[in-house]
Structure 1
């Protein structure tokens, strides 16, 4: 896995000697000395590159400080990746999980560093035009592969409740939005908190869902249009695959200022499919004929991302945001919320 690293930030420092001793005792083949850098990206669980003379690892930990209940579940990340690796899905190999706060101050896990390409921009910079669409299609195919796995067969039957996923997600993110008083309120988010429960489609399918499936959460092969590792499983659970797909589809709707967004880009010049063709490719791969109420799913995902950023705003104000770019993310919150409300209101007009 490649990505820009920086010196460990002041609000994420920990006892590196204690970590090195723990790794020597719990990770087969580990041997120091070890150097530690922090990955520049990531807004939730701080992520670190651990480099030794023989190999490099990645550590993800819960952030220090006061946390919302149920957030930053690194133990769930480790569990789902281990199950998916066993099913042949592209994820990093997890070496060890630590649930002892006394080691570095919070739970963490250590996994392989997968060498490849991570793209932050929706136009796959550095990829020739004739290969860009193939990279986008590889993302589509990988998500369809995930949704085709049987949770029971891979040992994840109890990874989440199989019923009412969308309604529970609306309740969860609405609650976290309302409970974080420090981050404040917005009229658009307040509207969506009231509107979404009245329009949520009834769930009819269950799969493992990633919860944050977009371009910058995957590692591509160094040369080929192939996803070799999907990262950041913090929001994963059992749920409706269409909700997960609609999150990925947000790249066609999200504010152009977000680097992974395709809004405002010349899709023809990039060789990309339009939104309808991207949806059709997913339908073909998953055996579906249509997605009912797709706009409601898109509106929810725009709302959820705005609510997640609302949480980032709260952590930033408390001084424990994982990324130095937290302020940049927070700047997108109002536009995301306004876009979600516009999708909702357009859908309502279309029903009349």
Structure 2
């Protein structure tokens, strides 16, 4: 954790009004690792722990860092099968700590960073992947009307809108010239999307280290980082997660390439997709290369945006951001390979 960068006194006064039973703040510390919305642990004198997530300071891209949307979707999911942290309060008054933020209860558990799960038993590795697939399936089965999330995004044309959004963001702030990225964007913009018209809640960043697991078991206690969640097409989430099967081991974005998955008790991509399909209640995912290429493009745009914020001095964790940026050539190579195999 690193130092904080706002007035604890101002935050304490606000908390006393909106979450009075939390008590006074004893200590505030900032979590390391996140690249978007800075996140802080609030240790209260009562022994209770809260978590605060805020927008970054400085100039931001329009619609980026939407902590209000994070708060809204997690609050709506509280009574569903999707595990989320309990939401406490949202503050849109920037005078309190300098930017919009929300506060939630801390979920006590563990975060697993490496998809190879080296510290887990062989038996638990398989169970953890089953729990991930079940959790993603639960997200995609959420009843949008019952949860009040039917207006959480624009239905239809999800991939075209995402390609337009991230392509525009990339072109506005690109840190270097990347001819491969230009070629991938052009292909996506000109190729008819094969997706059907189904609409579900999509997380947008569903991966192992955005889940909190119970200590001592494989139960998923909470899904984190809902910043880019919206209404969209479910295959975007599952294909995003499955990029890890194509990325190298180690680094800031660890993958599973070169690992003997059977020997380690890890599922193949085909086996994991079957787990997900059962959880989501569907039979298959056609046109798979398109969705992998789409997510590689989107991830490059996101990672280059982080590199841009590092140049601006507004990145949450510059060192980790630079490490994450090193995977961009791999992502572009994967995208081009998938495009060449798409029929």
Same fold (TM over 0.5): yes
**Secondary structure of 1:96's aligned partner:** strand
Q: Relative to structure 2, which stretch is displaced further, 40-49 or 81-90?
A: 81-90
Query: Is the 2:50–2:106 contact (alpha carbons within 8 Å) kept by the matching residues of 1?
Result: yes
Query: 1:38, 1:46 within 8 Å by CA — same for their partners in 2?
Result: yes
Residue of structure 2 equivalent to 1:150: 143
2:325 matched residue in structure 1: 330
Q: Is the 1:209–1:240 Cα contact (8 Å) retained in structure 2? A: yes
Which one of the candidate residues 303, 306, 309 is aligned to 2:300? 306
Residue 217 (structure 1) aligns with: 210
- Say if 1:216 and 1:260, in contact at 8 Å, map to a contact too: no
Pick from 2, 9, 12: which aligns with 1:6?
2
The alignment's TM-score, normalised by the length of structure 2, stands at 0.95
Q: Tell me which residue corresponds to 2:171.
A: 178
SS in 2 for 1:312: helix
8 Å CA contact retained: 2:132, 2:208: yes
Contact residue 58 and residue 113 of structure 1 kept, 8 A: yes
Q: Which runs of 5+ in 1 are unaligned?
A: none
Aligned partner of 1:277 among 233, 251, 271: 271
- 1:264 CA displacement: 2.1
Q: 1:259: Cα distance to partner?
A: 4.3
Aligned 1:52-91 pairs, distance under 5 A: 52-54=44-46, 55-91=48-84
1:342 to 329, 337, 340: 337
Matched, 1:98 2:98: no
Alpha-carbon deviation of 1:258? Answer: 4.5
1:199 offset after TM fit, Å? 4.0
Shift of 1:121: 0.6
**1:37 match:** 29
SS of the residue 1:102 aligns to: coil
Aligned pairs for 1:231-310 (under 5 A) are 231-256=224-249, 257-310=251-304
Write the distance in 1 (CA, Å) between the matches of 2:214 and 2:118.
14
Give the C-alpha shift of residue 247 in structure 1.
0.9
Name the CA shift for 1:196/1:130 in 2 (closer, same or farther; >3 Å).
same
Judge which range, 261-270 or 189-198, deviates more. 261-270
Asked if structure 2 preserves the Cα contact closer than 8 Å seen for 1:7 and 1:38, the reply is: yes
- Check whether the contact 1:122–1:259 (CA below 8 A) recurs between aligned residues: no
Q: Is the 8 A contact 1:163 1:203 kept in 2?
A: no
Q: Is the 8 A contact 2:81 2:138 kept in 1?
A: no
Distance 2:29 2:328 in 1: 29
CA contact (8 A) 1:215 1:260 kept: no
Mean Cα displacement is larger for which, 247-256 or 312-321?
247-256
Contact 2:133–2:276 (Cα < 8 Å) also in 1: yes
Provide, for residues 305-335 of structure 1, a one-character-per-residue CA deviation record: whole Å limited to 9, x for no partner. 1110010011000000011311111222222
Distance 1:260 1:38 in 2: 24
CA distance in 2, matches of 1:296, 1:157: 27
Aligned residue for 1:16? 8
Distance 1:202 1:136, change over 3 A: closer
Deviation at 1:185, TM superposition (A): 2.6
Comparing 142-151 and 284-293, the one that deviates more: 284-293
The aligned residue for residue 201 of structure 1 is: 194
Question: Does the 8 Å contact 1:119/1:125 carry over to 2?
Answer: no
TM-score (norm 1): 0.93
Residues 253 and 324 of structure 2 are in contact (CA less than 8 Å); yes or no, is this contact kept in structure 1?
Answer: no
Moved more, 244-253 or 134-143: 244-253
1:189 paired to 2:181: yes
1:173/1:205 Cα in 2 relative to 1: closer, same or farther (>3 Å)?
Answer: same
